Amino acid sequence: MEALEELPVATLPKKKGDKITEHIPETDMPRIVIIGGGFAGIELVKQLSKEEVQIVMIDRRNHHTFIPLLYQVATAGLSPGDISSPLREFLQDNKNFHFRMARVIQIHADEKEVETNLGFLKYDMLVIATGASTNFFGNKELEKKAMKLRVMSDALELRTRLIENFEEALQYYDEEQDEIEKHMNVVIVGAGPTGVELAGAIGELRSHVLPKDYPELDFSKMNIHLIEGADRVLPPMSDKSGRKAAKYLEHFGVEVSLGKLVERYEDDIAYLNDGTQIKTKCLIWAAGVKGNVIKGLRDGAEDRGRILVDEFNRVKNHEYVYAIGDVSLQISDEHPKGLPQLAPVAIQQAENLGENIIRLQKDKELKPFKYVDKGSMATVGRNRAVVDAPMKISFGGFFGWFVWMFVHLFSIIGIRRKVLVFSNWVWNYFTYNRGNRLIINKDLDDL
C-alpha cells in the first residue's frame, strides 16, 4: 500500500466552476474520497471517523438503504424510512466528513481526480465502493421490461405494480379470465435469497392480506412462479437449506421451476427455454448482480464485470486507488472465482482497509484481507427461515427465523429504525395487517 504524499491535495487551490469543492475547507490532512454510500462506504467512514484525514463521500443518492430488507418494502411490510438512513447523519459526529450528492462520470488516475456532474475533485486516496446492480446477462429486452429490486425506487415501483395489478383486475368481466390471470400472476426469476424471500412474502400476502382487501377476486387462481436455472433452490447455500426452503415455499403455494431459464418477456407472457409460457403483468428479475464499475480505469483493472484488487484491496495497475464491496474482485486460492457479493464481505473489507489506512499513517506493516464467513440465511415468510452457520451447521424453522430477525434487526443503522422495524414486525405478526399497501406514484391529473 502506497504512502500518502507529503502535500495533501486538500491544500491545493480550487478550480473555478468545480461546484463539488465548494464549502469543503482547505486542510493539511490527506483527503480520502469514497465513492458510494453502501455498506462498505459507511463502514469505512466509521473506521476513519476519529483519524486526522478529510473524508469526502460521493453518492448519487442522499441515503443508505438496508438492502436485505428491501423486499419487505416491496411487499408492504415496511416503509422506506424504516430501512433508509440519510448519509449526512455521519456529519453529526465527524467534522472532517463531507458528503456531496453527485454522479461520478469517470476517474482520472494520472491526475488523481474524480470527474462528476458537479466538476472535478482531487484526492490523495480514492476508494471505490459503488456496490452492484441487477445483472440481466446482456438481455436488453428483459432489462427494459422486467421489475428489479436493488434500490428503494425499485421497491416502491414493485409495490405499486403489485397493488395496481389487483386494482385493475377488478375492472375485467368474469369472462375475461386471461386478463384477470395476467394481473394476478407473479413470476420471480432467480431462487437465490432475494427471490426466495420475495416469493415467501408475496405468498403470505396471498394467504392472509389480499383476500381481505379484494374479496371480489378469487385468489386460488393467483399463481406465484419462482424460476431458477440451477437444479435447486438457494444455490449459494447448503443442500440442506435449499431443500428446507423448497419445502417452505411449497407451504405457501409457490410453484418452483428448477433448471429453467426465462428467455424473453413479450406481451405480458414470460417464455421459458423449455417452451413453457406464463401469463403475467409482473415479472421480477432477481437472478444476479454485477459490479457498478466506474469509467476511466486503466487496462487490466476490470475482470468479469468487477474491479480486480489485491489482498490489500488495491486496484490493479493503479496507485492510491482501492475498491471494496460488491464492485471488487478479490481472487485467492480459497476463493478462485472471487469473494461473494455480500454485505458481510463489504463490511469486513472496509474494516480492514480502514485499519490499513491508519497503519499506513503510522508506518506500520499492513494487514492483508481475509474473509471470515459468519454464515448466511434466508427467510420464507413468518416462522420459517434457513441458516447456514459456521462449522457447516445448518438449521431452520422457527429458531432459524428468530435468528434471522435478530441478526437483521441489529444490523440496521440507528436505534430509531431498529424500533420502527421491530414494532412493524410485531404488529404484522399478530394482525397480518401490512399497513403500507399504498399507490403513491399516481399523477393528480389522473384522479
Provide the residue count of the chain.
447
Closest by CA position to 131, among listed 235, 59, 70, 81:
59
Is 334 assigned a catalytic role?
A: no
What are residue 104's phi and psi, to 5 degrees? Answer: -80, 125
Cα–Cα separations (whole angstroms), residue 438 to 156, 172, 288: 9, 22, 28
The cell for 323 is 475498491
- Judged by DSSP in three states, 242 sits in helix
d(CA 1, CA 321): 10
Closest by CA position to 350, among listed 134, 38, 97, 57:
38
d(CA 320, CA 1): 8
Residue for grid cell 438496508: 66
- Which residues on neighbouring strands pair with residue 125, listed in sequence order? 32
Per the CB < 8 A criterion, the answer to whether 101 and 61 are in contact is yes
Residue for grid cell 459490479: 291
Angle between the 193-208 and 239-251 helix axes, to the nearest 10 degrees?
A: 20
d(CA 430, CA 399): 18
d(CA 10, CA 12): 6
Catalytic residue among 43, 113, 115, 197: 197
Which distant-in-sequence residues (6+ apart) come within 8 Å of 331 by Cβ? Answer: 308, 337, 338
189-218 burial code (b ≥16 CB/10 A, e <16): bbbbbbbbbbbbbbbbbbebbbeeebeebe
- Helical residues (DSSP H) of 189-335, grouped into ranges: 193-208, 210-213, 239-251
Closest by CA position to 288, among listed 412, 146, 395:
146
The cell for 99 is 458528503
Closest by CA position to 127, among listed 322, 306, 350:
322
Active site amino acids: 197
